[in-house]
Amino acid sequence: MKHIKKGHEPEKFTNWKALENDDWKPSWDDNFQAPEKPIVHDALLKEQGYICCYCGMSITRETSHIEHLKPRSNYPSLSLEYKNLIASCQGESEKPPTVPVHCGHKKKYWYDENLMVSPLEINCVDFFQYPASGEILPTDNPDKKAAAETTIKKLALDIDKLQKMRKKAIDGALLAIEGLTDKEIQLLAQGYEKPDGNGQYTPFCAAISYLFKNYF
């Protein structure tokens, strides 16, 4: 999981919400659609460097959906609150339905202030360990372990599919460091924490960066 620094919401989204009056209310279910919805979706993708808010796989507008960190069911007042919106992998209308389900669709209406690791927390990366096997493990830190374990389970971050994808990304990164000194590897690890020239993060960069920092 990589920290997402929330920026300002798109102006067009603000203006649309400001149209609220006695006869019309902005609503996620009833009228949040084009052009505002794709504008917000694109802003989230850009903010996140085009990786999933939870697992870190590469996403586009087609292969992702707008996710409510705090679910609409329990937090209806936050349904159009930009700071509560993030982009998760697995699209809204991918047909046939995406299986296995993980990340936002798996999380669904779950949220727990104490037991959910949020990508909006600046230290969210510290909750997990990423060995070269592609696994995601909870940290050994007793203060953080319960939340990490619960989050992994609730979002299905440890399923075979994601483990294989992480392993593939890690293997690719390991190939690229052959012959480098430890110092060069650490510099590279820092590089994975920043987006590239196109504003994109390397998929699973949190796992790669963790591995380089902890095993070299």
Q: Provide the binding-site residues for Zn ion, judged by CB under 5 A.
A: 52, 54-55, 89, 103
Minimum Å gap between C-beta 137 and Zn ion is: 17
- Looking at the Cβ atoms of 10 and 56, the one nearer to Zn ion is 56
- Looking at the Cβ atoms of 70 and 106, the one nearer to Zn ion is 106
**CA-CA distances (angstroms) from residue 151 to 22, 50, 130, 157, 211?**
41, 21, 15, 8, 20
Query: CB neighbours (10 Å) of residue 51?
Result: 25
Return the closest-CA partner of residue 39 out of 76, 13, 67, 72. Answer: 13
- Looking at the Cβ atoms of 80 and 89, the one nearer to Zn ion is 89
CA 150 vs. chain centroid, Å, equals 16
- Looking at the Cβ atoms of 79 and 88, the one nearer to Zn ion is 88
Minimum Å gap between C-beta 15 and Zn ion is: 31
Minimum Å gap between C-beta 198 and Zn ion is: 20
Minimum Å gap between C-beta 52 and Zn ion is: 3
- Looking at the Cβ atoms of 116 and 177, the one nearer to Zn ion is 116
Structural element, H or E, at residue 68: strand 64-68
- Looking at the Cβ atoms of 10 and 119, the one nearer to Zn ion is 119
Minimum Å gap between C-beta 4 and Zn ion is: 13
Helix ranges restricted to H, the chain = 11-17, 36-47, 103-107, 145-155, 160-176, 182-191, 205-215
Structural element, H or E, at residue 137: strand 137-138
Minimum Å gap between C-beta 86 and Zn ion is: 11
Q: How many residues does the chain have?
A: 216
What is the distance between the alpha carbons of residues 119 and 49, in angstroms, rounded to a whole number? 13
